[in-house]
Amino acid sequence: MTPKKNNAALIRVAIADDHPLVINGLHHILANSADMEVIASYTNGRELLKGLTAQQPDVLLLDIQMPGQTGDELAEIISAQYPTVRMLALTNQDNVYYIKNMLRKGVHGYILKTTREDILLEAIRVLYQGGQYLEASLKEKVLQDTLQAKKQTAATPVLSRREKEVLQLIAQNLTSQQIADQLFLSKRTVDNHRLSLLMKLGAKNAAAMVKTAIQLGLIG
């Protein structure tokens, strides 16, 4: 075991995972790293949140599949409560949806449990220095997912010019009357466009319509 340096602050790491074996394994890996120390470990969300009130690590290794609270709920809470704690999501789940969700919830890095030790250590260091860390393979996946957003757009209904205009304005907080004024049209005309839009987008009210339109990329 590498002796700890005394002339530099160690990276204080905490571990949250419901499998004691995993905690043990991580403990050993980190213990062999000269610039880190494990200051706590927790096996469920409640313990974790309670523990954080007492002491905050620099970097928190967070399993997203723990019993009770899910990882993304925890990430959200911790991100809001302890913004200085850097979170590294540690999981088996390589689904792009989960990755994006966790990043949205405030996690700063995301690596798989199958990751090599040196990469794990590297990720912790990057996070400690204020960076983000995504494994190369995950980066590629997230990127591809973003690029392929187009594929879902394939079944987009055909909207006329006017309909698109009206749709934009509906999504911008305007009533039919206001839209009519802005486009120099009768309110009834705008109402007709509204109804066409509802039909074409398969919605029963403006709220659902806007949601669908955004998902289809019709409006930003």
Partner DNA sequence: AGCAGATTAGGTATTTATACCTAATTTCAA
Partner DNA sequence: TTGAAATTAGGTATAAATACCTAATCTGCT
Q: Is 81 in the site for a second copy (CB under 8 A)?
A: no
Binding part of the chain for a second copy, among 36-44, 45-53, 120-128, 210-218 by CB under 8 A, reads 210-218
- Amino acid residing at 136: A
Which partner from the list a second copy, DNA, none does 120 bind, CB cut-off 5 to 8 Å by kind?
none
CA distances from 148 to 110, 152, 153, 158, 159 (A): 21, 8, 9, 20, 22
Does residue 81 interact with DNA by CB under 7 A?
Answer: no
d(CA 57, CA 87): 10
- Candidates 39, 44, 56; CA nearest to 17 is 44
**One-character DSSP codes across 161-205:** HHHHHHHHHHTTT--HHHHHHHHT--HHHHHHHHHHHHHHTT-SS
For residue 4, the minimal CB distance to a second copy (Å) is 33
CB 60 within 8 A of CB 14: yes
Please choose, out of 4-12, 90-98, 137-145, 156-164, the segment that lies near DNA by the rule CB under 7 A. Answer: 156-164
Q: Is position 92 an interface residue for DNA (rule: CB under 7 A)? A: no
Task: Give yes or no for residue 192 binding DNA (CB under 7 A).
Answer: yes
Options 44, 168, 182, 189; binder of DNA; rule CB under 7 A: 189
Q: Which of 8, 136, 147, 155 binds a second copy (CB under 8 A)?
A: 147
Nearer to a second copy, 184 or 204 (CB): 204
- Among 19-27, 61-69, 118-126, 198-206, the segment contacting DNA (CB under 7 A): 198-206
- Site for a second copy (CB under 8 A): which residue of 49, 77, 103, 121? 103
Tally of CB atoms within 10 A around 72: 18
Distance CA 94, CA 174 (A): 41
Go through 84-123 and write b for each residue having 16 or more CB atoms within 10 A of its CB, e for each that does not: ebbbbbbbebeebebbebbbebbbbbbbbeeeeeeebbeb
Q: Which residue among 22, 29, 171, 183 contacts a second copy (CB under 8 A)?
A: 171
Say whether residue 151 binds DNA (CB under 7 A): no
User: Which stretch, 2-10, 17-25, 27-35, 170-178, contacts DNA (CB under 7 A)?
Assistant: 170-178
Residues lying near a second copy in the complex (CB under 8 A) = 100, 103-106, 132, 134, 139, 142-143, 146-147, 149-150, 153, 170-173, 175, 203-211, 214, 217, 219
